[in-house]
A and B are shown apart, each in its own frame.
Chain A
Amino acid sequence: AQKVTQAQTEISVVEKEDVTLDCVYETRDTTYYLFWYKQPPSGELVFLIRRNSFDEQNEISGRYSWNFQKSTSSFNFTITASQVVDSAVYFCALSEAGSGGSNYKLTFGKGTLLTVNP
C-alpha cells in the first residue's frame, strides 16, 4: 500500500530564511511519481513539480528546489529566501500507474502548514 508521511505539521519562519519541507514515502512499485502541491488559503491545489522514480536528479526552479533520494524514500522541498506569499499548506503526493496503467490517483500526505512572517 502507498503511504506518504509529512512529519512536520507546521513550520514558522521569518521572511528570507530558507526552509525545507520533508516528505517520506512508501510504495512497493518500481515505477511511481512524486509530486508537490501548494494549497493557499483560497483552497485550490497548485501543482509545483512531478518527479518519476527513474529520475533522481535534483531540480531547481527559481527559489524552489527538490531533493529526491530513493535510498531513503524521501522527496524534500526547499524554499530559499522565503517570502510572505509562500505561506500555504504544502502537500507531498505519490502516484502509481493503476490498473490498466491509466489511473494516476494520488496518495497525499497530511500536509505542512508553512507560515512566513514579515
Chain B
Amino acid sequence: DTGVSQNPRHKITKRGQNVTFRCDPISEHNRLYWYRQTLGQGPEFLTYFQNEAQLEKSRLLSDRFSAERPKGSFSTLEIQRTEQGDSAMYLCASSLRTEAFFGQGTRLTVV
C-alpha cells in the first residue's frame, strides 16, 4: 500500500497523559501536514513540514504540542499533558505538488 499511513487509528488516554502519533507519508512526497478535525467541522491546519524542516505552525498548536519529521520521512505528533479539549481526529497529509493526500487519521479520546 503506497498511501499515507497513520498509527494508531484510535487512542484513549487519561487526562494529563502524554500521547504520540505517527504518520508515514507517501514515499516521494516532500511536504507533510498535520490537521485536527473535531466533530461536525472541517479539518484545521496544525503544522507543515518540507522535508525535515518545520516551516509553519498554527496558533492552534499550543506549547503542549510538538511535531517532528526526522530525516524528512515519517513524522510524529506528540501531545503532552492531554486535556479533554484535545479529543479530536488528527489527520496527516502529504503532497508532492498542490494536492494533498490524507491518511485515515488517529482518533484521540481524552477521558
Contacts and interface: CB of A to CB of B under 8 A. Distances in A.
Interface string A24-66: 0000000001010100001111110010100000000000000
A44 to B, nearest CB: 4
Which 10 residue pairs spanning A and B have beta carbons closest together? A108-B42, A45-B102, A44-B104, A105-B45, A50-B99, A104-B98, A103-B48, A33-B98, A43-B105, A110-B42
A15 to B, nearest CB: 25
Contacts of A107: 45
Contacts of B91: 45
B98 A95 contact: yes
A110 B43 CA distance: 8
A111 B48 CA distance: 23
Chain B contact patch, size range = 20 to 34
A100 interface: yes
A110 B41 contact: yes
B95 A100 contact: no
Chain A contact patch, size range = 20 to 34
A109 B104 CA distance: 19
A33 B100 CA distance: 12
B13 to A, nearest CB: 19
Contacts of A98: 48, 56
Contact of A35 (B33, B99, B107): B99
Contacts of A88: none
Nearest to B105: A43
Interface in B84-110: 89, 91, 93, 95, 97-105, 107
